[in-house]
Structure 1
Amino acid sequence: MWSSLVARTFGVAVAAALLQLVMVIAFSWPAARVAPRDVPIVVAGPQAAAVAERLDRERPGAFDVRTERDEAAARAALTDREAYGAVVTTPSGPKVLTASAASPVLAQQLTALAQVLTQPGGASVSPGSASASVVEDVVGADSDDPRGAGFGALALPLIMSGLAAAVLLTFAIRQAAWRAAGVVVFAVLRGLGVAGIAQGWLSLLPGSYLAVAGVMSLTILAVTGTVVGLAAAVGRAGFGLGGLALLLVGNPLSAATSAPELLPQPWGEIGQLLPPGAAVTLLRSTAFFDGAGAAGPVAVLVAWAAAGFGLLTIGGLRGRVRDEAAPEREPAIA
């Protein structure tokens, strides 16, 4: 008896310590390894080929450079979310276009890069010179959140509230159908509320209130539906699986404060296949880019929500079978 308690105590303590280490690594490692990796940018103008060659030579692997015919095409690439920035060569020197709404961190890096680009003649541009690069923010972040700190802080509360709601709904509502209805009602109400706070009080996001609220609701539907479905299918272990996938892995890889191309690969791409990363990308597209680039993240969130409700349906059917087979017993989580 005593030895069993000792073994259990030490086992739990060791497991908790390991979990803490995993959490520190999961949240700190991506942030500590932020660097540009195949970041899509555009170069245009008469010296576009020379600029692209220098970028590839001096920053190998940092940028995925494509050339466009003129400044108008370069601007379109930014507003369509096909590139994070552009370099337009002109007779008076390079002109750098950024889109801080897509990533304030990348916009800052591209602004710094503007000071070391070549002039049309090939000489280095010095800060403050008459021909120094001009920088223009084509799609700017919200004026009340220019560094994107407030925007980056939105992702974690959405995930945590979705997890908490999943636990409450699972234990408070036994019937699978009513539990599913509770998930939908919570997602709608939570989305409307968070969008109201983000836009009306904190002024973090521009754009249509209903569109932003729709993104918030879809995100919460995917998170809460997934965890509720996992709990119905595998029991209480589903809460742990959901927290592991969505909070411990998904949140650090969401690139809410950076960009997927700044994270170590393939983790940046994997993060976009999880609800937190898809939600961040979709929210940027909806609030700042009139929906450009929204199709992919919408498909990801819908797929997670559908999978969650599918698991909930399976769990509900299994629970009904158990109830019919043993009506005298209290049914387990279904």
Structure 2
Amino acid sequence: MRSSLARRTLGVAVGAALLQLLMITAFCWPAARTAPRDVPIVVTGPGSAAVAQRLERERPGAFDVAAVRDEAAARAALTGRDAYGAIVTTPSGPKVLTASAASPVVAQQLDALARGLGGGAADAASPAVQDVVAADPDDPRGAGLGALALPLIMSGLAAAVLLTFAVPAAGWRAPGAVAFAVLGGFGAAGVAQGWLSLLPGPYVELAGAMALAILAVTGAVAGLAAVVGRAGIGLGGLMFLLLGNPLSGATSAPELLPRPWGEIGQFLPPGAAVTLLRSVAFFDGAGAGRPLVVLAAWAVGGLVLLTVGGLRGRVRDETARDREPALV
């Protein structure tokens, strides 16, 4: 008996230590390896080809440079979320355009790039830098928006756990998940926009984006639990917290994370939610298509799993009733 307990205790300790290492790796590794990797920018003007060659020579692999016809097209690329920045060459010298709303970290790197184009000195010879789509003035570094993703995911997980244990019928967990997502989305948007002033943009659209993100997490985790049991909760936590959250690019940008993890993170609810919120809040919905599809797919998939779990539970109940001895 004692030897069995000793082995179990040791197994739990080893498992917890491995989980700790996994958590440290998941959260610290992307942050420690943050660097530009094919960050899309555009160039235009008579000296744009020379600028592109210089960037490739001095920062190989850092930027994915595309040429556009003029400054208006460069600005459109930024407002349409096709690029993070632009370099406009003119007879009087280059000009750098940024979009800190898309990523304050990338905007800071482009500021440094502008100083490099001007010879590295912050003087009159340095290119002018203009923030075309600026971050919220109350959250200029994007720290608040980046921090918003984690509570949305954690509250969605908590709701899935509560629904799983408090609502016996899996079929009734689906309307519970939808109700929580709607209430949580409108409540979170009210706090983020009205009180904390983290996000501009239309309130209803922001609330809808948050509600969809919450439903993607709550529905998926509750659905997994309905089909595979309590292990589904652990699986959802691993996917969304240990994998999705550090790979979301919420505090930097997907292109700054190690490959291919930044791209993978955009197919999980945390990354898709942050991208969608940026698009709705700052870019009039530009670039919202893919994150909308990703979140909707997770939400619908979760509701389908809840429906399957409800049908299986109903069949089990009917089978159990049929096996009960008839009363004479």
TM-score above 0.5, yes or no: yes
2:265 to 271, 275, 284: 271
- 1:18-167 map, 5 Å: 18-117=18-117, 125-167=119-161
Q: Is the 8 A contact 2:221 2:232 kept in 1?
A: yes
Deviations along 1:98-130, one digit per CA (max 9) or x if unpaired, are 00000000000000000111xxxxxx5342433
Q: TM-score, normalised by structure 1?
A: 0.95
- 1:1-334 map, 5 Å: 1-117=1-117, 125-327=119-321
Q: TM-score, normalised by structure 2?
A: 0.97
Q: Is the 8 A contact 2:26 2:242 kept in 1?
A: yes
Deviations along 1:226-270, one digit per CA (max 9) or x if unpaired, are 000000000000000000001110000000000000000000000
Matching residue of 1:121: none
Secondary structure at the counterpart of residue 160 of structure 1: helix
Q: Is the 8 A contact 2:186 2:207 kept in 1?
A: yes
Deviations along 1:124-155, one digit per CA (max 9) or x if unpaired, are 53424333200000000000000011111000
Q: Is the 8 A contact 2:115 2:122 kept in 1?
A: no
CA RMSD of aligned residues (A): 1.1
Matching residue of 1:120: none
- Structure 1 pair 63–3 and aligned structure 2 pair: CA distance change class (3 A): same
Q: Is the 8 A contact 1:253 1:277 kept in 2?
A: yes
Secondary structure at the counterpart of residue 89 of structure 1: strand
Secondary structure at the counterpart of residue 90 of structure 2: coil
Rounded Cα–Cα distance in structure 2 between residues aligned with 1:295 and 1:322: 40
Q: Is the 8 A contact 1:30 1:253 kept in 2?
A: yes
Please state how far the C-alpha of 1:176 moved relative to its aligned partner.
Answer: 2.5
Secondary structure at the counterpart of residue 252 of structure 1: coil
Percent identity over paired residues: 75
> What runs of 5+ residues in structure 1 fail to find an aligned partner?
118-123, 330-334
Secondary structure at the counterpart of residue 291 of structure 1: coil
Aligned length: 323
Q: Is the 8 A contact 2:249 2:262 kept in 1?
A: yes
Rounded Cα–Cα distance in structure 2 between residues aligned with 1:129 and 1:255: 33
Rounded Cα–Cα distance in structure 2 between residues aligned with 1:305 and 1:82: 27
Q: Is the 8 A contact 2:171 2:309 kept in 1?
A: no
Secondary structure at the counterpart of residue 153 of structure 1: helix
Deviations along 1:30-61, one digit per CA (max 9) or x if unpaired, are 00000000000000111010101100111110
Please state how far the C-alpha of 1:328 moved relative to its aligned partner.
Answer: 9.4
Please state how far the C-alpha of 1:318 moved relative to its aligned partner.
Answer: 1.3
Q: Is the 8 A contact 2:171 2:311 kept in 1?
A: no
Letter in structure 2 aligned against 1:111? D
Letter in structure 2 aligned against 1:298? L
Letter in structure 1 aligned against 2:203? Y
Deviates more, 1:16-25 or 1:307-316: 307-316
